[in-house]
Amino acid sequence: MNTDGTGRRDPDRLIRRAGVRGDPDRDQHFLVDDRVLDRIPSYLSRETDTSHLLEIGGGTGALTDRLLALGDRVTVVERDADLAAFLREEFAEEVESGRLTVLEGDALSVELPDFSACVSNLPYGISSEIAFRLLPRGKPLVLMFQFEFAERMAADPGTSEYGRLSVGAQHYADVELVERVPREAFAPAPAVESAVVRTAPRDPEYTVADESFFFDFVKALFTQRRKTVRNAIRNTTHISGISDGSAVVEAAPEELLAKRPGSLTPGEFAALTNLAAEYR
């Protein structure tokens, strides 16, 4: 095992030993900045249960190495068969001891274990799908995304970045953008900057009778984000599935109808959703 002098595996040496090069066409950008790699696991709070850490997209194992130093057990999901084989070889001792499990397959369809927290440099092309597969599990997450995606995920109501992604993510957890990561931290460098997001799971301060309808309703109103909520409800019944938009408007509070979708809090969306559900 070649390390960087601190006992950690050197990311550039891992790439050379694996005999691979990142492929932007396959959404492969290997994180090679040691300082960023060392910081990412530290964004888990001190109270986090690290008994079983999950990593999506193990690549050549630079982050896997850091997670093994932190957690009791690690499960890494890797869709590339050659990289999955390399991880089993590179970390043969950890695999043999049962501390590391390598799952070869697509993270969108493979059966995920009952992990205690997830720390990952995600494939950016499936960021949204992965995030909303993980968030409902109610576990702490530290995830790398494209910067603009991360910014929208953590955005506050009333900002230009706030949208359906913000409402959806914040329905499940408190979301915080904790670090902006430059393109040069990766090999090959992606076309955009990246960012690390930390989520702390919690129950929302509101209730929705039908979560699926809640997300559909939020999606519908954000297609009309420059309109008032009053007009957005009336104009998007074909998306939301509401049978009588005018009836919803008649029943809704004026202070919410006069706002625009981008200024509604998740709780206000929930209140409107519960009211609108009566008119489906």
Query: Contact at 8 Å (CB) between 60 and 15?
Result: yes
Whole-angstrom distance, CA of residue 45 vs CA of residue 4? 26
Enumerate the known binding-site residues for S-adenosyl-L-methionine: 29, 31, 57, 78, 106, 121
| Torsion, CA 65, CA 68, CA 73, CA 74, rounded to 10 | -30
Q: What share of the chain is helix, strand, coil (3-state, %, to 5)?
A: 45, 20, 35
HSE at residue 146, side-chain half, CA atoms within 13 A, is 13
H or E element: which one contains 100? strand 100-104
For residue 32 the two structure tokens come to 């090679």
One-letter amino acid of 250:
E
Helices 62-70 and 34-42 meet at what angle, rounded to 10? 40
Residues making up the annotated binding site are 29, 31, 57, 78, 106, 121
Strands 186-187 vs 141-146: parallel, antiparallel or unpaired: unpaired
Angle between helices 164-172 and 211-222 (to 10 degrees): 150
Distance CA 149, CA 128 (A): 9
